[in-house]
Amino acid sequence: AAQRPAGHRRETVDRLLRLHFRDGRTRVNGDAQLLMAEMLNVFVREAAARAARQAQAEDLEKVDLEQVEKVLPQLVRNRA
């Protein structure tokens, strides 16, 4: 059987996108779902890499939620 590449399921990506739709009838085509899934994968990998570097800078052997929380502001912009 063909293996599916590691990543986020289309249903997950679709739900995340729908959080920001004003019209419940809005649909997302397959190409847009694939692109958003790839962007989500890039974001998660970058967050993991930065959290790992943060843990190393703190001489820790394990990444914990604290390191992820420290790097999160670097990855998201406050829209307030």
Domains recognised in the chain with CATH numbers: 10-75 (1.10.20)
Contact 57, 41 (CB under 8 A): no
- What's at 37, amino acid-wise? A
So what's the pLDDT on residue 20?
86
Mean pLDDT by 10 residues, the chain (80 residues): 59 86 86 89 95 98 96 83
| Residues in contact with 64: Cβ distance below 8 Å, sequence separation at least 6, in sequence order | 55
Q: CA torsion angle for 21, 24, 27, 33 (degrees, to 10)?
A: 50
| Residues in contact with 11: Cβ distance below 8 Å, sequence separation at least 6, in sequence order | none
